[in-house]
């Protein structure tokens, strides 16, 4: 019998079906709770600078997008950052990068402590990103797609004066549809390739992935960013998968029709973003490789981490304008 990386999230046909997000609180200026209060009766937490903490892992694409959006919007001083080790042990994400092994703001050694403090019966995977309330230690949300959209919209009052509009109202219908396609075929598509336990499930995911990359490559041949002249949330979401493509997905997840470096438009587009303030400095290729190759033991039982590829090309001129 084939063993799945996450058996509770694998269908009878061998396809990877991602678990739903358990915590879906929202931080919003529309909360009726006072400052320092908990969520109101609609699950809305009060908007406050310095209160909430974003827990991320440098290796994780879903957490990485929150880290980038936070930076682009100038929320670095407003939402603090806790970073977990890319290697989990049997107790999950741990704060072993902090000097004494505890997150200094939350006082916990494992992210699971915050999940269980919020829901003692929680049995799903403990995931990053998570936005945690530093006053109570409770998880506000691990709903990664809503989290970044909320940073753009609900947190606007606390943005830097020159913050970009990553989710412009006029573009939302097209942007939402585009992001749904990118999620299904690319962001989650690489996981559907890597975690498939049947040939058919893998073949379907692989075909959808590269068909979508071909469509996006044609789109980006005629425009600098996915929605035109300005960076939007869609670019952030696409970037976090592209930047992991050659170091992790091409080999580890068998997404190997081409490497990113062999897809000229997408490679130049990804380099353009990488060299934009707020993107490249958040990327840690070493942690990305160690996380994927060393923790998914069902698909890489030895845990050996490859030495390559050479990533020096990311800083070479991209030629896009």
Ligand X SMILES: N[C@@H](CCC(=O)N[C@@H](CS)C(=O)NCC(=O)O)C(=O)O
Q: Catalytic amino acids?
A: 60, 191
23 interacts with ligand X by CB under 6 A: no
Q: To the nearest whole angstrom, how small is the minimum distance from the Cβ of residue 254 to ligand X?
A: 18
Q: How is 28-71 classified by DSSP, letter by letter?
A: ETT--SPTT----TTSEEEP-TTTEEEEEETT-HHHHHHHHHHH
DSSP, collapsed to helix, strand or coil, labels residue 195 as helix
Site size with ligand X, rule: CB under 6 A: 10
Q: How far is the CB of 74 from ligand X (least distance, A)?
A: 25
Q: What are the start-end ranges of the E strands in the chain?
A: 26-28, 44-46, 52-57, 80-84, 130-133, 139-141
Residues 140-169 that bind ligand X (CB under 6 A): 142, 144
225 beta partners: 228
Written as six digits, the tokens of 57 are 């892992």
247 is an annotated ligand-binding site residue: no
304 is in an annotated binding site: no
Spell out, one character per residue from 71 to 100, where the chain touches ligand X: x when CB under 6 A holds, - when not. ------------------------------
Choose the stretch contacting ligand X; rule: CB under 6 A; options: 17-25, 146-154, 235-243, 262-270.
17-25
Interacting residues with ligand X between 103 and 132 (CB under 6 A): 125, 127-128
In the list 62, 202, 225, 267, the residue contacting ligand X (rule: CB under 6 A) is 62
Question: How remote is the C-alpha of 110 from its chain's centroid?
Answer: 19
**Distance of alpha carbon 121 from the chain centroid:** 25
Has 126 been labeled as part of a binding site?
A: yes
Could you tell me the smallest distance in angstroms from the CB atom of residue 237 to ligand X?
13
- Minimum CB–partner distance for residue 127 and ligand X (Å): 3
Q: What share of the chain is helix, strand, coil (3-state, %, to 5)?
A: 45, 10, 45
Angstrom CA distances, 191 to 16, 48, 119, 239, stand at: 7, 35, 27, 16
- Comparison of 31 and 148: residue with beta carbon closer to ligand X: 148
Of the pair 128, 209, the CB lying nearest ligand X is at 128
Residues belonging to the binding site for glutathione are 93, 125-128
Which residues of the chain form contacts with ligand X (CB under 6 A)? Answer: 18-19, 21, 60, 62, 125, 127-128, 142, 144
């Amino acid at each position: 019998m084939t063993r799945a990386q996450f058996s509770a999230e694998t269908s009878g046909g061998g396809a990877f079906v991602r678990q739903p997000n358990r915590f879906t609180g929202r931080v919003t200026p529309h909360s009726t709770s006072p400052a320092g209060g908990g969520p109101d009766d609609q699950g809305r937490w009060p908007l406050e600078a310095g209160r909430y903490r974003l827990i991320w892992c440098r290796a994780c694409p879903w957490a990485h997008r929150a880290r980038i959006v936070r930076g682009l919007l100038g929320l670095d001083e407003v939402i603090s950052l806790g970073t977990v080790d890319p290697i989990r042990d049997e107790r999950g994400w741990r704060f072993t990068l902090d000097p004494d092994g505890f997150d200094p703001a939350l006082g916990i050694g494992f992210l699971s402590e915050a999940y269980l403090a919020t829901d003692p019966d929680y049995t799903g995977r403990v995931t990053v990103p998570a936005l945690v309330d530093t006053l109570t230690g409770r998880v506000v949300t691990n709903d990664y797609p809503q989290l970044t959209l909320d940073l753009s919209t609900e947190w606007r009052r606390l943005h830097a004066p020159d913050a970009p509009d990553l989710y412009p109202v006029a573009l939302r219908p097209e942007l939402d549809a585009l992001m749904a396609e990118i999620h299904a075929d690319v962001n989650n598509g690489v996981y559907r390739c890597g975690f498939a336990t049947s040939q058919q499930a893998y073949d379907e995911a692989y075909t959808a992935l590269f068909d979508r990359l071909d469509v996006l490559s044609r789109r980006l041949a005629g425009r600098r960013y996915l929605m035109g002249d300005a960076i939007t949330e869609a670019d952030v979401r696409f970037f976090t998968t592209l930047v992991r493509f050659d170091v992790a997905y091409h080999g580890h997840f068998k997404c190997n029709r081409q490497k990113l470096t062999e897809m000229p438009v997408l490679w130049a587009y990804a380099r353009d973003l990488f060299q934009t303030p707020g993107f490249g400095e958040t990327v840690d290729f070493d942690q990305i490789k160690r996380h994927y190759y060393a923790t998914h033991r069902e698909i890489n039982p030895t845990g050996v981490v490859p030495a390559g590829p050479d990533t020096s090309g990311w800083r070479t001129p991209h030629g896009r304008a």
